[in-house]
Amino acid sequence: MLRERRESSKISEGAPISSRIDHRDGQGLLAACSWSLRPEGPEGLARDLALAGVQGVQLHLNPLGQAPWTMDNLRASLGGLQVVSGMFGPLGEDYSTLETIRRTGGVRMTEMWDANRQAAEKAAAWCKKLSVGLVTLHAGFVPPDGGDPEHGVMVERVAWLAGCFGGHGARLALETGQERAETLVRFLEDVDRATDAAGVERVGVNFDPANMILYGMGDPIEALRLLRRRVVQVHIKDALPSATPGEWGREVVVGTGGVRWMEFFEVLREGAMPPLVIEREAGETRVEDIREAARVVRQIGRRT
């Protein structure tokens, strides 16, 4: 059995955890990804989150500790917001093309593994400081063949990361999209054996329906059905498929793409509602786009 997800936290002096994830508008807590807003610092992030009309944030962990992302600035600017999770970005990733991210994404590159271990240890220490109970990342393109030697290497590395973050109070979750759901299920079962043996909490899933479309990895609704019991967070994002195999799909504003949101939430409600984190990685009107995504989610909450 997967353990119940930890509480979210507010960044405030002397109060490491303030309240459980709540369910608003019939959905989970609405949050946004900090990196979507491309903030220069915590103050700008807080301003844009307020303009976007969301109550929480998934915080990019890698910059923390570097000015202006200091603890004092975080407390001063984000003290009233729920930090629902953190995001760790493996070093060396190149998203220029599908081929470059296939080679460089996640924990695949052996030449970057030592640097990524060190970066993960620093990020995990920040999880403890901020009482962040969940961290998500892309593992990279998982080989569909479980007998592929790289499959075993990736299992070991993900299990190590789960132990690293788990040792600082944060559960690890893998983001969907860079492999088919069936491949991710088998991969996570292998990771389970490693984490169970080490006494580490099992790895969950951060489900991103748009990524399934962007990478051409299957229908998001069917993928969610396969992975639902592991889902501990959802990225609210939309996309249109590419007309050319081997090329990116196109990210679009939520409600204008290929995700069938009514069906999506019907499946999502088969379990406890996880935090809903709006991600927008394209366009120059991201505050407005996040606000529109929040409106769509709230509208679904009223209709279902």
pTM: 0.90
109 vs 80, higher pLDDT: 109
> Is the pLDDT score of 21 beyond 60?
no
Q: Measured between alpha carbons, how far is 223 from 263 in angstroms, rounded to an integer?
A: 12
pLDDT in tens, 41-100: 999 999 999 999 998 999 999 999 999 999 999 999 998 899 999 999 999 999 888 889
Q: Measured between alpha carbons, how far is 237 from 243 in angstroms, rounded to an integer?
A: 19
Q: Burial letters for 7-21: b for 16+ Cβ neighbours within 10 Å, e otherwise?
A: bbbbbeeeebeeeeb
pLDDT in tens, 80-89: 899 999 999 9
Q: What is the DSSP letter of 255?
A: T
pLDDT in tens, 203-253: 999 999 999 999 999 999 999 999 999 999 999 999 999 998 888 899 999
- Torsion over CA: 109, 114, 116, 117 (sign): positive
> Is the pLDDT score of 268 beyond 60?
yes
Map out the domains of the chain with their CATH numbers. 9-303 (3.20.20.150)
Longest dimension (CA), the chain: 53
The residues that bridge with 298 in the sheet, in sequence order, are none
